[in-house]
């Protein structure tokens, strides 16, 4: 706050790094300049701000010196922070600071667009159009393989790796209990609605079944959230609880939603469903749930074998 930082600011340079830091580098610079101070350059609304002096504070209760904000990967600006020199992208000509404009001729506005286009291009040639300062260029990769790009692996190794990502500040603090409860209710409703949308997309084929996660996958994500802090772990567990509640109330036999569907059908028909028919429907529902569970477990095991965790 003393350095004039605001939510949404992007760290363009920190300390003597000369570029946008990874979270690992951010912590290293915090420790290096703890209680001494160094310069930080921010980008706001696409414009670089004058360098500000900021003093990381050492805290005996924390693993690293603190700046007072929570950094996350900036998904909004498709700007390359840095390139692994051993990667095909580096060999194709991409460099840090390049702004990605198109993937295979299709425009991209943020990293989510890039993820979607790269997912579609898996196993085929990829042409990445970029803007370097004012010069346009293209980088061609003959075949995109999971080793080069996997969205889930990206999410796990992003900020802790040596690839440079621009850091964006996102901080939510509710000191008023009423506001905190209101925020929690809103987040719960949003999570509930998103879960229904995802279930619908799964059955419609918009989301492939390979995205299903079983106990191993959920456990891995829980570990990742715990590494980001206790509050993130609690938030993740809340999201999982809401998702389980949604699944429990779907009109699928065996779960509570299925029993409710039987009662509604009985009310409409004016008589109960026969025991034989109910058993058949329940067996079908059980087979469906077991099938989804097996697919999810297979996805977890496949990802573990491929080293995507």
Q: Which long-range contacts (CB under 8 A, 24 or more apart) does 25-30 make?
A: 25/164, 26/71, 26/167, 27/63, 27/64, 27/65, 29/56, 30/56, 30/64, 30/65, 30/66, 30/67
- Write down the pLDDT at residue 147: 55
CA 77 to chain centre: 15
Q: Collapse the DSSP code of 228 into the 3-class scheme (helix H, G, I; strand E, B; otherwise coil) and give the result.
A: coil
- Quick check: 80 and 96 in contact, CB under 8 A? yes
Q: Does the pLDDT value for residue 244 go beyond 80? A: yes
Confidence of residue 69 (pLDDT cuts 50, 70, 90): confident
Rounded Cα distance between 21 and 161, Å, is: 11
Each residue's pLDDT tens digit, 110-157: 888 888 888 777 778 889 999 887 789 998 888 776 556 655 444 433
The model's pLDDT over 197-234, given as tens digits with 9 standing for 90+, comes to 888 888 887 777 887 888 888 888 888 888 877 888 88
How does DSSP classify residue 192? H
Nearest to 125 by CA among 107, 143, 138: 143
Q: What is d(CA 294, CA 287) in angstroms, rounded to the nearest whole number? A: 10
Question: Which residue in 48, 68, 72 sits closest to 1, CA to CA?
Answer: 68
Supply 305's token pair. 């074998």
Tell the burial category of 192 from Cβ atoms under 10 Å away from its Cβ (0-12, 13-18, 19+): middle
160 pLDDT exceeds 50? no
Q: Which of 82-91, 239-248, 300-309 comes out lowest in average pLDDT?
A: 300-309
Three-class SS of residue 186? Answer: helix
Q: What is the pLDDT of residue 153?
A: 47
Domains of the chain are 88-155 (2.30.42.10), 177-305 (no CATH)
Question: Are the beta carbons of 199 and 249 closer than 8 angstroms?
Answer: no
Entry pTM: 0.43
């Amino acid at each position: 706050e003393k350095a004039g930082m605001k939510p949404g600011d992007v760290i363009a340079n920190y300390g003597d790094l000369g570029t946008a830091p990874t979270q690992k580098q951010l912590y290293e610079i915090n420790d290096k300049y703890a209680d001494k101070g160094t310069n930080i350059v921010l980008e706001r609304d696409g414009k670089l701000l004058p360098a500000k002096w900021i003093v990381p504070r050492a805290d005996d209760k924390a693993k690293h010196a603190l700046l007072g904000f929570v950094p996350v990967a900036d998904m909004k600006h498709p700007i390359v922070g840095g390139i692994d020199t051993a990667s095909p992208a580096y060999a194709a000509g991409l460099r840090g600071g390049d702004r990605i404009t198109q993937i295979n001729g299709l425009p991209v506005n943020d990293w989510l667009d890039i993820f979607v286009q790269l997912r579609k291009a898996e196993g085929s040639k990829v042409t990445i159009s970029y803007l370097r300062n004012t010069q346009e260029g293209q980088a061609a990769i003959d075949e995109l393989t999971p080793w080069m790009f996997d969205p889930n692996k990206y999410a796990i190794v992003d900020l802790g790796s040596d690839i440079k990502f621009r850091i964006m500040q996102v901080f939510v603090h509710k000191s008023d209990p009423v506001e905190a409860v209101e925020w929690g209710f809103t987040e719960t409703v949003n999570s509930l609605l998103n879960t229904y949308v995802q279930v619908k997309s799964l059955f419609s084929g918009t989301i492939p079944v390979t995205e299903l996660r079983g106990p191993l996958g959920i456990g891995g994500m829980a570990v990742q959230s715990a590494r980001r802090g206790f509050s993130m772990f609690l938030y993740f567990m809340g999201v999982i609880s809401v998702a389980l509640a949604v699944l429990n109330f779907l009109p699928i036999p065996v779960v509570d939603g299925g029993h409710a569907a039987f009662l509604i059908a009985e009310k409409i028909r004016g008589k109960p469903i026969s025991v034989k028919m109910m058993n058949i429907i329940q067996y079908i529902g059980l087979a469906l749930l077991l099938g989804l569970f097996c697919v999810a477990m297979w996805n977890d095991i496949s990802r573990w074998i491929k080293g995507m965790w």
